[in-house]
Amino acid sequence: MSLRWIVLWLLLFSLPVLADLDYVLKPRLIADNTWLLEGSTDNFTRDNGGNIVNVGFIVTEPGVVVIDTGPSRRYGEALRQAIARVTDKPVIQVLLTHHHPDHGLGNQAFRDVPIGAVAGTKNLLHEQGDSMAENLYRMVGDWMRGTEVVLPSEALPAGVKTFGSHDLQLLHLRGHTGADLAILDRRTGVLFAGDLVFYQRALTTPHSPGLAIWLADIATLQGLPWTLIVPGHGPIATDAKPFEQMRDYLTWLDQLLRDGAAHGSDMPELIRSPIPERFAGINLSRYELTRSVTHLYPHYERTQMQPINTQQ
């Protein structure tokens, strides 16, 4: 068999597999000119292709503003197609809430428009983007084919950025990654909280600068004049329950780690800690507790040792 026929055979064999990789994105209207594409609350799998994130877009008079671009080039392309089914207006701006791969690896599909983020997000994506993309490829496979890291092209100042009749309040916060953007549309009251808010899905902590900082961010967000909360993961809400759940969980996790350090507990002990019944309905609670203890507990242990070292 000639090389040409071998190549053709391989292409034909792979086409059905690649054709099945369809995110089937269906935008849902959640407020005036405001659309949501809601992801799964599960972990990354080959079945969901990494679509575990809430992505939004706002159709303004001059064009479409996109909030986050999803986990892959394929997702970003599907997102643009989904937007085109809703409106013929051009995409004029991407707002990236933070650097994690499920939120920003769809940037390739938006190279032709400004991609804005907190300045620190660009630095973090530059430092960690390739390794995160490789890790995601190992987890979801061919959904990630052709995905490359595209950095934000615009550092966004805190304040109000206006698109037609939509005044978007941009908040620089830190609790989730150290460089987080939340967006409040003052016209509709829709708050795109990014991963500062998880709801009915356990939060992730790999780059958090500290739970006290995160709790302060929750207080800041709750104090805004919002009417609808779009968490980074989980269902939207018109009441304060996402904030209450976040505050409750962060406070419990912080106390668990403090008590563990005070009593000299080791990491495996804390990983086996019972999860309160009130968090039973939160997806992936045990999985994320294991990860959070791994990420955060060494800091609590060092903090507990500091007074001892000071007295020596």
pLDDT tens-digit readout, 162-191: 999 999 999 999 999 999 999 999 999 999
Specify burial of residue 209 (Cβ count, 10 A radius: 0-12, 13-18, 19+): middle
* b/e sequence 63-97, b meaning 16+ C-beta within 10 Å: bbbbbbbbbbbbbbbbbbebbeeeeeeebebbbbb
pLDDT band at 307 (very low <50, low <70, confident <90, very high): low
Counted residue by residue, the chain has a size of 312
CATH topology of domain 3-240: Metallo-beta-lactamase; Chain A (3.60.15)
Question: CA-to-CA distance for 290 and 206, rounded, in angstroms?
Answer: 11
Instruction: Check pLDDT > 70 for residue 88.
Output: yes
Mean of the per-residue pLDDT values for the chain?
93
Question: CA-to-CA distance for 185 and 206, rounded, in angstroms?
Answer: 29
Specify burial of residue 136 (Cβ count, 10 A radius: 0-12, 13-18, 19+): buried
- The per-residue pLDDT for 9 is 45
Enter the pTM of the model: 0.91
Q: Please state the domain extents for the chain.
A: 3-240
pLDDT band at 20 (very low <50, low <70, confident <90, very high): confident
Instruction: Check pLDDT > 90 for residue 24.
Output: yes
pLDDT tens-digit readout, 108-124: 999 999 999 999 999 99
Q: Which of helix, strand or coil describes residue 209?
A: coil
Instruction: Check pLDDT > 60 for residue 204.
Output: yes
- The per-residue pLDDT for 48 is 96
Within 13 Å and on the Cβ side, how many CA atoms surround 183? 32
* b/e sequence 48-61, b meaning 16+ C-beta within 10 Å: bbbbbbbbbbbbbe
